[in-house]
Structure 1
Amino acid sequence: MESLIFHGVRKRRAIASLCAALVLAVAPASPAHAGGVEDAFNQMSSSIVTGLKMSPLGLAAAHAALLDPHVPIIVLGARLDPGCSAPAVLDDRLATATVLAHLHPANPVVVTGGYTQPGCQAEGEYMRDKLVSSWVNPSRIIVDTTAGSTVGNAQATARYAGSVAGIAQAGVLVTSPNHAPRAMDTFADVEKSALWLVVPSTVN
């Protein structure tokens, strides 16, 4: 039991260290304000660690985390239309993911979504094809075709969280703004040792 407690404390300290490192990466230098870094860390703690992860600082932290090529971009799917085309919400997520993938060309891109519309390809397959058509290298793309829900997305892909500079595990999610809080909470429930950040799309 003591060893389990120690292991949990060590994980929390690792995540705190990662937050501090991201703050140093994204917080503006302010020599005249001695409490600048501490204030930024407090903001990071409230806006990221506790779930309010869509602040400007949280978005900057996501980009900072992606400077490490081990951190994945995980794109969450949405049910295809009956004619097998994508709803606007999914194409918008993919547009956001495409920009992110081109800004961070060394990171793996994970697409997750199963066969949720009879007679159609899996959401993950559609997402892969759309990204490849937008010049994202297919060798970077990891496809999950098993997930039928947000919980399924997390169960299938949370394991891809990568280590930021050997400090702690992290992953960056791409989903709709109104879905982002639930997605991040779900991923955190599945992989508690990782810090989950988000780059939201625009269409809900």
Structure 2
Amino acid sequence: MIRKFVPALAAAAAALAACSPADADNGAAGTAVVQDMPPIARTGFDDLLHNPATPFLGAENADVTIIGYVDYNCPYCKKMYVEIDEVLKADPKLRVLYKDWAIFGAVSENAARSALAAGYQGKYHAVHAAFMKHPSRVTDDEIRRLLQGAGVDLARLDQDLASHRAEIDDVLMLNMQEAMAMGLQGTPAFIINGYLIPGGMPRAQLEAIIARLRTGQPLR
């Protein structure tokens, strides 16, 4: 059962602001932490695949799908972006969907809104990459510079931020509701073919998880 949610992004972000990134020690030696899935992810994985704002990266006919809940000012999200990008480039049967979950305050929400607005001119993934590859926290001043560097028409972006505000709000709220329903404690968090993996991991672990899923082996 999906619990009742706080109807305000700011309230939810404030409640999560003190949370540390989700189990960032997954990157250590050993097996990545795999948690028992709550009903929304165990039986509703297909529902999580429907993102009204951002397209998939990778294969249309993928056999493994990674859904990532990320914040542009989460350092572990930035590390995982690089790992996933490398795997995605080498794996023709993989697809990836990112969901903006802005839990690190107002600047993160501004960045998420800007990335989603850039999607109306086909630039979401270019902006996502620019924000994730930025080596430090993204500031309000840097957001505009990074947007421009990603090829975004800033005048159109401002128009889309205003005219599509309701749609952008809906996407951010939906992402937050999904994350809260699954009991996520922070970013990054990944759902891989229905398995919940909170925190990051090195490329070798990610590839091992993908290989086990393809051979039908359990992750536990």
* Same fold per superposition (TM over 0.5): no
Q: Which has the larger radius of gyration?
A: 1
Please, what TM-score do these two structures have when normalized by structure 2?
Answer: 0.27
Please, what TM-score do these two structures have when normalized by structure 1?
Answer: 0.28
Q: Which has the higher contact order (CA 8 A, sep 6+)?
A: 2
